[in-house]
A = this chain, B = another copy of it.
Amino acid sequence: MAIDRALLVPALKNIATRLRIDSIRSTSEAGSGHPTSCCSMADIMAALFFAEMRFDPKDPHNPDSDRFVLSKGHAAPILYAAWAEAGAFDRSELLKLRRIDSDLEGHPTPRLPFVDVSTGSLGQGICAAIGTALNARRIKSEYRTYALLGDGESAEGSVWEAANAGSMDALDNLCGITDVNALGQSRATMWQHDMDQFARRWTAFGWHTIVVDGHEINAILDALEQARNTKGRPTMILARTIKGKGVSFVEGKDGWHGKAFKKGEEMDRAIAELEKQLVPVRENSPAANLAAQIPKPPAAARAVATPKTVAPPAYKLGELVATREAYGAALVRLGEADARVVALDADVKNSTFSDKFEKAFPDRFYENFIAEQVMVGAAMGLAARGAIPFPSTFACFLTRAADFIRMAAISNVNIKLAGSHAGVSIGEDGPSQMALEDLAMCRAEPNYAVLYPCDGVSTERLMALMAYHPGPAYMRTSRPKTPVIYSNDETFTIGGLKVLRESASDVATVIGAGVTVFEALKAYDQLKATGTAIRVIDLYSVAPVDRDGLVKAGRATGGRMITVEDHYATGGVGDAVAEAVAGAGLTVRRLAVREIPRSGKPEELLERFGISAKHIVEEVGELVG
């Protein structure tokens, strides 16, 4: 910075003090929040926002703007205070903190334009920061990413997944800062102020590591400069701080986590103490108005590639192809059509077939090794900065990132999850490798589109729709090869279904998805041979679901509806259909996996766990009586 440190430092100290005051005032007004967690990091925030980062407070989404991720999301009040201080909005808004009519929520969400991803579930922000840092490389931007973590947060395994990813990808455009205030929510943290515990871990994980006094502005500025100049690896600044810093009667005291100062005497006393710490800055000093001098991101002329039409699938009817394989093929077509499409995997690319994409676009493929949390977290960061990321792994291992999937819903971020190897139809590997609750996991979140194609054509067509569906989406694919049943020009919609067999004399509607579509078709053939007609539906869109289409079929078949799914009985196809048709007074019988399965051949398992053609035929028989 051009401003002399002798002038700069007292001005930043004043900003830090103001941020502390704002954090205390807003939480006291709200009656809840984490002011002491804000106070410990105020000097870091002042240095970072007003002497280091390049950004435009009025245009936080500028693609070349430095990113700041508050991984310790409970310190939201000071994040808001910093943006207000920078001029993003009026300081008076801060007093609406945590109110139902304000976007200044208890923990940050992207309802605010300067927040990329929701934080507040610890250990996630640093993973998203991996994604925003990767994105800078993707769009060839010089912007840097800063992520501020808590020390308690450092116990989360996801932090160490991010640590590995950062060093493996040599992300020298990423700088982490850990606010080591030594106090967690309920007690002293694991390592308290033993800075070496932190330093040796981050160093071992391949990061450049700097230990500073987090209340020494000069030391913080030096560390940030050192981080900026460190090449080939990310930097972690470990800042030794005091929780509640600046307010003598709470400094370093246990029992103050997540407690607002009581309005009145308690708050007034805290603020009075802080106000005394303000030092005079001459009005004509170059440091008098640091907010006005925040360097804007460089104006980069950036050609935006217009997405092309996604090439159609090219299968033959009856051709045997696993939907997971079609997923890989579709991903390549998408990659060809749109430069924003990127893929991530967790060391199963040769099973999910994302390796096809890697071969075609090695620069847009990110290998996360066996670390599903940082894979999904990085995808969230990439999506927040304009990429269209497809993270893939076995569907059962997406449960490893369930909390990220939850937070992605809250962020309404544009990630496209892909889970392969759904259900008992994977066979011999056994239950640990079978996803039987993935539909439940994704359907539970309000914002997710959940797709479950049964053949190559529908997989490819749905992939193209999914890529441009705003918000999070999940596609479930299967291990076994299944015949192509749709012609290449068949069209699909998110929220649609396909009636595969119908006649005026259908006695029941059987609704399958994925592999069970073929069991339903087999049951159709068997029943037809005995003179019984059933309607067969491919429910390829499990969320949203085609309510009208289902009700129509149900009504046309005497209200007799059967769902059959390679998923547990709860939260999947059965529940989706049942809720959809309940309003029409219709009920549903469900065939689903109802106990913990085991190893065996796929067809043996479909049989044993009650979701084969034979069971459908029996169920129709019972229903028709």
Interface residues of A (CB under 8 A from B): 30-33, 73, 98-100, 102, 105-107, 109, 111, 118-123, 152-153, 155-161, 164, 168, 184-187, 189-190, 200-201, 203-205, 345, 347-351, 355, 367-371, 373-374, 396-397, 399-400, 402-403, 406-407, 409-410, 412, 427-433, 436-437, 440-441, 443-447, 568-571, 574-575, 578-579, 582-583, 585-590, 593-596, 598-601, 604-605, 608
In the complex, chain B residues whose CB is within 8 Å of the CB of A432 = 73, 106-107, 109, 118-121, 407, 410
A189–B159 touching, CB < 8 Å: no
Supposing A568-B445, A599-B105 touch, asked if A158 and B157 sit within 8 A by C-beta, the answer is: yes
- In the complex formed, the residue of B with least CB distance to A581 is B587
The smallest beta-carbon distance between A150 and chain B, in angstroms, is 8
The smallest beta-carbon distance between A148 and chain B, in angstroms, is 16
A161–B152 touching, CB < 8 Å: no
The smallest beta-carbon distance between A338 and chain B, in angstroms, is 25
In the complex, chain B residues whose CB is within 8 Å of the CB of A204 = 200-201, 203-205
Supposing A100-B608, A399-B406, A402-B402 touch, asked if A571 and B184 sit within 8 A by C-beta, the answer is: no
B119–A186 touching, CB < 8 Å: no
Further contacts, 12 of them, CB under 8 A, given A98-B428, A570-B575: A100-B598, A105-B431, A109-B431, A121-B432, A157-B159, A157-B371, A184-B347, A189-B369, A201-B204, A444-B570, A446-B596, A578-B579
Count this chain's copies in the assembly: 2
B184–A369 touching, CB < 8 Å: yes
**How far, in whole Å, are A575 and B580 apart by their CA atoms in the complex?**
11
**How far, in whole Å, are A157 and B374 apart by their CA atoms in the complex?**
9
**How far, in whole Å, are A168 and B201 apart by their CA atoms in the complex?**
14
A106–B428 touching, CB < 8 Å: yes
In the complex, chain B residues whose CB is within 8 Å of the CB of A601 = 100
B347–A446 touching, CB < 8 Å: no
The smallest beta-carbon distance between A123 and chain B, in angstroms, is 7
A433–B402 touching, CB < 8 Å: no
- In the complex formed, the residue of B with least CB distance to A559 is B585
**How far, in whole Å, are A604 and B155 apart by their CA atoms in the complex?**
35
In the complex, chain B residues whose CB is within 8 Å of the CB of A588 = 582
Which of A164, A409, A568 is the most central at the interface, judged by chain B CB atoms within 10 Å of its CB? Answer: A164
In the complex, chain B residues whose CB is within 8 Å of the CB of A185 = 347-348, 350-351
Query: B107, B152, B190, B355: which contacts A186 (Cβ < 8 A)?
Result: B355
Query: B369, B396, B444: which contacts A440 (Cβ < 8 A)?
Result: B444
Which of A73, A441, A586 is the most central at the interface, judged by chain B CB atoms within 10 Å of its CB? Answer: A441
B571–A370 touching, CB < 8 Å: no
A568–B444 touching, CB < 8 Å: yes
Query: B446, B586, B589: which contacts A568 (Cβ < 8 A)?
Result: B446
